[in-house]
Structures are given as structure tokens and as C-alpha cells.
Structure 1
Amino acid sequence: MSGTTRAYRRRTAPGVRRSPGSPGGARRRAGCWTRRRPALDAARRLESDLAPALARAETRFRDLTARVAPAERTLTDLARRHGPGAPAPVTGFVEQARDRLVFAALRLNQSHQRSDLGEPDPAAAELRAAEGAVSQAAVLLDAVTGLARDLTAADTLLPAALTEAETEGDAALTAVRKDLASETPYDPLTLLRRTLVSANGRSGALAAAASLLARSTTETADAYITTHRAAVSATPRTHLATAFRLLTTNPAEADTKARLSRDLAEQDVRTHGNPYADESAHAAGVAGAILGGILLDQEEQAGPPPSYGGPGTRARRVS
């Protein structure tokens, strides 16, 4: 086993804590907030003490806004180095992140205004909507960063995985080797998938490649579903949950389930459409906020949930 393979497997082994900036890390943090939401409601009491939470939200908003332009450059660089198909799993994510931040800016300003007018309940509601938008912007931008990381890791792993696979003598791998040796851009994650399809073994570099591929596919699918949750039905979510469950025990099946989850989720979004995408709603980021489940469905003025305890929050109030 090569040093590169050992290092990658140490970083991705069960129990090893990944970077909190990864989409999977965002998902686990969101789940933690959801489980603790009753205590969170009681502790926050935004209506009586809005200022600290508003300040934190504005700081996070500014940090994420500063990441938008670098994320755009990252996508351009990925397409240049690896071909236009490489950034496909996060196509549109930067634009959607910008849309969420436009919405967050409006809601943060409105929260200030309502607070200045002595209207604590509406001010808190505006802040919760802004927090939801900021959270989804982070998921989207983290997904771009995560894909860039995974493409780099795949490019590093690919030669060793291909060498191990070639010991089985599959002629189909010749085309992979040819693409790898060519001077034209190539998508290392796609080449890893083609290598794994042609190889029976799952040890050494091949095992590390299967783990990387499954995790990358699962996390980008998770980011998509998280930020389009108003339109996504139960079936894609079920497949995604299965993919996460299989990551450490059956990466190949996890990859298959995650890809199916993403495909079905995209179908749901296309079917759902966006009945709120008129010019004024789009300019304020409202259409994206409704699609992302930040605002309650049906009416633009329906507002956010009365409490915010994570992505599972709906109409709820802890007494």
C-alpha cells in the first residue's frame, strides 16, 4: 500500500473527524441542532434578547459573502483543469448561495428595522429566516470546496488504483490509462469510477478510491437535497439515508444509492418548478428561500417557522 493511500485512508477512516467545512460536517451539525431544538428555543429567546444572535448572523453572513467570488474562481479552475464535467455535481451552487445571501441581507436589515421599532416578535422571525438562508449558503459553498478537495484527492489516488486494477488484466482499463496520460483535461472522479467498475479487488488504493468516490457523491447529493428540501420527496431522502449508512461497509452500493438519490431529487425539483419565481421575488431571493424550505410554502409572506432549530424545524414553539 502506497504512502498516499495510507494517508488518505487515515483521513477517511470511521471515527476520524473530517473538516467542519465539509458538506457532511454541515449535515451533522444541522442534525445536532435539530435534536437539541427544544433546549435551543428555550435558551435563545430571541424576542427578549435579539442583539447577540443578530450580530453572530451578520458576522457569518459577511464571512460567507467573502467566499462567493473565490468559489466562482474554484469552479472555473476545476473546469479548466479537469474538463467541464468535473464541476457538474455542484453546478449552480454558487449562484444559489449568492441568492440565499441576497435573501439573508434583506431579512437581516428587516430584523434590525423591526427591532428598532420595538417589534420583537417580527424581528426574531426575520432573523430566523436570515439564519436559515445563511446556513444553506454555507452548505452550498462548502460543497464546492469539498468537490475541489475530492477531485485533488482522486487525481492523487488514480495512478495507484489503476495500477492495482490492471493486475487483473481488464482491457477496459487501457482507455482509462490513455485518458490519464493524455494532455487533455480529465475528470479524476469519473476515471476512478471507470477504474472501479473494471476491477474486482477492493483493497489498498482501490479501497481508498471506492471510499473517496462514495463519500464525494453522497455529500454533494446531501447538499443538493438540503438546499431544495421544499421540492424533494421522501424517496430521494430514503436513498440518501441508505447511502450514508453504507459508506463504511459498502462504498460501491453507497455511491449507487447516492447517485440515484440525486437523480430523483433533481426530477422532483424539475417537476415542482418554481411558482414564486417572478421578478420581484427572485430579486429578493424569496423564490430560492421557498424552494429551500426557509420560508414556509404556499405564500411569499408566510414567513419562516416561528422557531429555528435546524433543517427539520416547522411550526413549533417551546413554552
Structure 2
Amino acid sequence: MTPPTEPLAPFLAEPSRIGEEISVTGKWVPTEPGGRFRKSAESREMLQEWEDIHADAKGDPGVLFTEINHAVGEDAVLVHHVFKDPDALVHYFSTTATQHMGALTGVARPQLHLIRGTSIPAPAREALMAKNVTAAFGEHLFGYVKEDYRRPDPETAIMVTAKWTCLPGGDLEELKYWWQRVGTEAHSIEKGLVRFEAYQVIGEDALIIHEAFENTDELKFHLTKGTAEKYKKDIDKVAAPEAYFFRGPVSWTIRTYSKFLHLPATYTSHGSSFTQAGGSMSEGTTD
């Protein structure tokens, strides 16, 4: 069966303005997780090590944005970096990351990392893979960014980064089509979905989807009445979600609604963050 197709809406077809920037969003868990009410020693050391890495990253001019979000409901942390360009990523992983890797891997282990950019050259991919990190590298396909790429209010905004992988027999072109439908309709009916981007994963029949919502109410609408609710069944026929990373002040209502949609989600609270003067095109400008 030939997958459905239609031309990209003009706002989805506009070239991305993120330039050479590369974003990395990854999950780390302690080697010995704690209980429901008390964190293990490894968990506490993992969090402290990431705070130390965060402090060092702030002094690296090639790191445009860095953030640590503590997971809610599980012993884990989501870490997010935006690099100026591939060279900056390689420099970071050969210096700051290397300096901390021994101490970090003594108490924690990496899980999936989702990497996004317009193009991710081999040296950048190799620098990250050399750290024994499970990673998916996505290159920009289509999308839109409202408000001239301005960063939404970090006190209320929620960033969602997900990986969808085709089922056996699933068609990547059909998966692209359904996410194209999401972006096309969301642009007009979901005013608070201010950023929507689809990235094709290198070497896999998979997509990375990145969305930015102005606040909890906008994300709630997306999940219950908006395009996520409308197209989830169509997408489920061709692909399965491998991971959903929610960064920001995620409320318990969002956690409930996303569970109804059977999303393999990691939820976080708003954590330590730093952005260089002016911000970035990937996370949002601040001028």
C-alpha cells in the first residue's frame, strides 16, 4: 500500500534557523537506585556530579545552553545541552565530559540520548558514541518555530522530545506523513505549541519529535483535545514510542494524561539551567 502524501505547508517547509547548533537530551540513572522516599548514595553522588559538570559547562563558550532536570517519580536525571556547532560538541566531549566520566560512570549509567541538528557530521557522532552512550541522531526534516525563535518563559514552558520507531512492516514515509499532519493542524489550533520539529534518525526507520509548549494548559490541550489525541491511533499503526522526555514544570495532570496515551515518559521538575547571552536558536533567543 502506497503511504499517503501531501505537500508540506509553507510554514513547515521553511528552512530551520538553528544553523550548525546541535542539541543533546539524555537520561542518566544511578547504578543503585534509591527507594520511594530516600535516594541512594549513588543517586546523590550522580546528582552532585551532574551539578559539577553543569558548572564546568557554563564556562565553555561553545555550550550555548545547559540544563539539569531531576526526574519525578523515578531515580533519574534528564540532561540537556545545546552546542554552538559540531566542533564545540567534540571539544566538550573530549574535555569536560572526559574529565568527569570516570566519577560519573562509577555511580550512574547512561540511557537513551536524543541528538538533534540540521546536520550531524560523523566526528560529532563518534565523539558521543565513544562515551558508550546509546544515542539516536536526528537531522531536521520539517517544522515551525513561532515568536521569531524567542525562548518561552522557562518558569512555565515544557519541552517534549520523543523518539518514534517504525514497527516491523511499518513505513517511514507514512510515519512522516502523520507527523506532518500533526504539525500542519497544530500550527493553527494549538496557539501555545510554539515549536514543532521533526528529525529523521540517521540509520534507522525512526523520527525524533521536539515540541515546546508555553505552559501546562497548552500541553494538556495537546494531549486531550489537540493533535496528539487526534492522530495518536494513526501513528500507533506504523510506529511505537521509544522514549518521551518532558523537561520543565510538569504537573501531575500531564503525567496522568500521557499515561492514558501509553507514552514511555520521563517527567522532570524545572532544574538548574544556564544560557549564554542572547540564548540559542535551538532553545530560544533571549535578546
Name the TM-score, length of structure 1 as normaliser.
Answer: 0.24
Structure with the larger strand share: 2
Name the TM-score, length of structure 2 as normaliser.
Answer: 0.26
| Structure number with bigger Rg | 1
